[in-house]
């Protein structure tokens, strides 16, 4: 599916990419295993940006808190992301971007004029 959108890079925005519930999506200790190896076989680069992870995930008001974090420090948090060639894909554990902090990151990037967004589901 990523190749259909010409995605060259997957940016993992999970706080703990090594703890994925499905093994293939875990960031292994070596890049020859796990998600890095799987994506490399498909010709896609893998990057992990834990600074974009949702530190509020266990709180009921995580969405409001993460939006506040982006409002205060979004430029700093997305600095490395802004150097990734487009098109890239944000990866997290939740299927629905409306129920995931990656949706908030995408909204922030659009709002700040960095890029347009297409949600792949």
pLDDT single digits (tens) 73-113: 999 999 999 999 889 999 888 878 888 999 999 999 999 98
> What average pLDDT is seen over the chain?
87
pLDDT single digits (tens) 22-78: 555 666 566 666 678 889 999 999 999 999 999 999 999 999 999 999 999 999 999
The pLDDT value recorded for residue 47 is 95
The pLDDT value recorded for residue 84 is 95
Structure tokens at 102: 């990656």
The pLDDT value recorded for residue 116 is 80
**For the chain, how long is the longest CA-to-CA vector?**
39
Distance, in Å, from the CA atom of 79 to the CA atom of 99, rounded to the nearest integer, reads 24
Q: Give the three-class secondary structure for 53.
A: coil
Given a contact cutoff of 8 angstroms between Cβ atoms, the answer to whether 108 and 29 are in contact is no
For residue 112, give Cα distances in angstroms to 65, 102, 119.
19, 15, 18
């Amino acid at each position: 599916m990523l190749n259909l959108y010409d995605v060259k890079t997957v940016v993992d925005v999970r706080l703990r990419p090594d703890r994925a519930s499905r093994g293939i999506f875990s960031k292994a200790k070596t890049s020859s295993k796990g998600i890095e190896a799987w994506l490399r076989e498909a010709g896609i680069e893998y990057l992990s940006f834990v600074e974009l992870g949702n530190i509020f995930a266990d709180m009921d008001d995580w969405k409001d808190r993460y939006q506040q974090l982006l409002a205060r420090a979004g430029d700093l948090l997305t600095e490395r992301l802004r150097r990734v060639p487009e098109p890239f894909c944000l990866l997290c554990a939740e299927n629905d971007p409306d129920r995931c902090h990656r949706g908030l990151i995408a909204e922030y990037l659009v709002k700040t004029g960095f890029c347009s967004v297409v949600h792949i589901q």
